[in-house]
Amino acid sequence: MAHTVREQILMALRKRTWYSGQELAETLNISRTAIWKHMQTLKDEGYHIISNKKQGYQLVDEGDLLTPIAIEQWLTTSRFGRRILHFDELDTTQRIAHEQAQQQAPEGTLVVCDHQTNGRGQLGRTWHEAKNEGIAMSLLVRPDVPMHQAGQLTLVAGIALAKTLRSLDTPVTIKWPNDILIHGRKVAGILTEMQTEADRISSVIIGIGINVHHQQFSEGIENRATSLVKETGQSFRRAEVVGRFLNQFELLYAQWLELGFGSFVADWEDLADRLHETVTLRTRQTTASGTLLGIDETGTIRIKTDAGETRFHSAELVYWEKE
């Protein structure tokens, strides 16, 4: 990933407590006046930088930005997140990611924005987002697998996200197939969309929305939505969450390609919400209640009803009255 001058300045400031303007100018082969102007721009963007005539510049705090340079510092990936498109505001990151896929963008391309105005979830539902309070991102992958397996990526991404958030001391669980919960309330959602060409997968776009700093939610969802901060009282850096997720997901994606989804069943069930409890499943044709047994090697949900074990490939777990 090529770095801009400002990104190179940030990388330098991260390495030392103080960095003189003269040293930066010589390292980057630009004038001290240019260094000063870049520092002012970085401050305007939200970086807390102080200066001292004798010692130079010091990066005190990086704020909570979702810029490529902020995310990149957390990455250990080889491909995922190595090309990042960042926007202050978008209708939806999915649209840009689909456009990138059609323009032959490389696998691992990430689209992220600070304010998504028209985010979408499963079944066409709106994903509510507030500026600088959450994470809206879409990741482009190009798996060489049969088309019927593409939907498994929703579950693989869910496992990766749940493991990421648990590593940050957040007690999340997975609601099949695409929601992440804390204490029974939704904190994140996943939307997977596929592009095909000549009966094969051209690309899969994995869209993820995460409530991070939200304290209030609009009427109608206030009793079933929550945020990382609201539930834990901890502070979170959004760039760290994104970076850690990409690290985790790249590993699990490689495992999925090599070993198939069957290798994830135990992990998913360890993270599952309401496992071995009574749940209600709804499809377009019917509604069924029973004990949640888990999933099978294809990702299909399994419940035990009075009639015995029943499996659903496409259905929705009904948690809240108005869904």
Residue-wise pLDDT for 264-315, tens only, equals 999 999 999 999 999 999 998 889 999 999 999 999 999 999 999 999 998 9
Contacts 24+ apart (CB under 8 A), 49-53: 49/13, 52/18
Judged against a pLDDT cut of 70, whether residue 130 lies above it is answered with no
Residue 122 predicted with pLDDT over 80 = no
Contact 133, 243 (CB under 8 A): no
Q: What percent of the chain shows pLDDT beyond 90?
A: 78
CB 223 within 8 A of CB 165: no
Q: How many CA atoms lie within 13 A of 234 on its CB side?
A: 13
Cβ neighbours for 23, distance < 8 A, ≥ 6 positions apart = 56
Q: Confidence class of residue 198 from pLDDT cuts 50, 70 and 90? A: confident
Instruction: Indicate the pairing of strand 278-282 with strand 287-295.
Output: antiparallel
Q: Where in the chain is the domain with CATH 1.10.10.10?
A: 5-61
Length of the chain: 323
Task: Outline which parts of the chain fall under CATH 2.30.30.
Answer: 278-317
Mean pLDDT score, 226-243: 95
Percent of the chain whose pLDDT exceeds 70: 94
Residue 265 · residue 296 · CB < 8 Å: yes
DSSP secondary structure letters along 176-227 = TTTEEEETTEEEEEEEEEEEEETTEEEEEEEEEEEE-S-----TTTTTTB--
What pLDDT band is residue 195 in, cutting at 50, 70 and 90? very high
pLDDT value at residue 119? 67
Question: Does CATH place domain 68-269 in 1.10.10.10?
Answer: no
Which part of the chain has CATH 3.30.930.10? Answer: 68-269
C-alpha–C-alpha distance, residues 1 and 105, integer Å: 14
How confident is the prediction for the chain on average, in pLDDT? 92
CA distances from 221 to 175, 214, 280, 323 (A): 17, 13, 20, 10
d(CA 212, CA 230): 8
Q: What is the CA radius of gyration of the chain?
A: 22
DSSP letter at 128 equals: P
* C-alpha to C-alpha distance for 299 and 152, rounded to whole angstroms: 6
Tell whether the model's pLDDT for residue 200 goes beyond 90. Answer: yes
pLDDT at 322: 53
pLDDT at 123: 47
Of 17-26, 219-228, 234-243, the one with minimum mean pLDDT is: 219-228
Name beta bridge partners: 304: 291, 309
> Is residue 73 over pLDDT 60?
yes
Task: For residue 55, give the 3-state DSSP assignment.
Answer: coil
* pTM given for the model: 0.88
Kindly report, residue by residue over 23-37, the tens digit of the pLDDT. 999 999 999 999 999
> Does domain 278-317 match CATH 2.30.30?
yes
Burial label for 229, CB within 10 Å (0-12, 13-18, 19+), is middle
What whole-number distance in Å separates Cα of residue 173 and Cα of residue 170?
A: 9
What topology is assigned to 5-61 in CATH?
Answer: Arc Repressor Mutant, subunit A (1.10.10)
Digit-coded pLDDT (tens) for 207-221: 999 999 987 787 677
Amino acid at 29: N
Name the one residue in this structure whose structure tokens are 């499963």.
122
CA 4 to chain centre: 25
Distance (Å, whole) CA 128 – CA 151: 24
